[in-house]
Structure 1
């Protein structure tokens, strides 16, 4: 059963399919560029997820011909207080943090996020894709750190954090210092996306990932995302192993662990209760 727009957003469509939220950025005439409303609604949506364990997986995508073409520069030109070079450094920083908070909430929420990227994913749209846990690209996907092409630094909205961790410093330097586009085929070669499929097959391609994640225990999946986040920046092997040990002991105390063992031995699908 699909429940649409449980929250009354204007620029996001949220379809709830069991434990999966299908979230569509819905400004197709503007290539889903991030205006004030979309920024606020993305921030609100991902902020709500932190304590909403009814949602187990999030799929993020764009309506129309693009994933997200970045910030809506036309709107920002008419709102000088929103620009990074606005009325004052203080006002500019407040506006900037409203946007960067989105990717921090994406990493903070315990649900894995699968981005289905087609068409342009530029600037802020690139950042949304990078902040996701899994990226699947349509054949039309073209991504770039567009900020450097409009007189800003390419280091924006978490890109300087995520990109070198995903593709290495050399490729990240190339993409960020030139602003050049990376297409779907090369993105797959360098490990930026998991696979490339025809645009019309993106939802179908996501299905096996979702199915496999839904057959894991809810707590185990949440703790895996948390531990992965922390291990990327762990100061030592010991720090990463300490987090892993904590996760295993916590999960081993749950009814879901006993159900998982029983399902494995009985060669059946587990029925988890998140308890």
Structure 2
């Protein structure tokens, strides 16, 4: 259990999620580090990682809801749907009416069938799409359902000196896991007939974890330990069911308790302030779904 927990990194631009995992492994001196949901190299912000038994804990955390602050540039499409790709066309966007832009944004809110960005980690015939695209292959990725709960323009700018070519939008996006904000930029530009791509992306929240929880890699190195131990992480992510010492010992052995009429996963909280397990009621049992502190670990 020593050193197990959750790390919330404020990922810097230019690093892949795998790069961050490798750096955290070196900082904390363990191979047992995994992340929950990738970020593009150009993106910054909340990247949630599990350390030690925290890698198993993350599988039970519902971090599906994501929130982002982003900047979209209308006036050009790119092969990657962001500023790192080569332009593939477009039309001057500086003359677009704000009302038309806001209407198009509203049309990309709610339940959508979205085609992921071509240069993405989505697998096509067993291989990452980005690898095939970079070999010059044409890749057809099937659309999938996503939910965009909020897609809101917070600022609209027509850059000086651009000759009316660009229209830049600062936006806030709240969406389900698997939603590509780059694809929203692409589809917005297509809907307006001018092309669009992402120029900045910052994840501000993933499930219950926000930028307020995040540390940069230098801060993590100075700390030398996860941001949250497993007890704190369980209590952050799940409602609590208090148990006595005998019940806590039973849960540590993987045994079940009597149900008390609660739905969903709960963190069992013992009198010592520790969480022996995550539990869920099913019929006549409150069964363990994840034993945080197995009795065999002491």
Give me the TM-score of the superposition, normalised by structure 1: 0.26
Structure with the largest fraction of helix: 1
- Larger strand share, 1 or 2: 2
TM-score (norm 2): 0.25
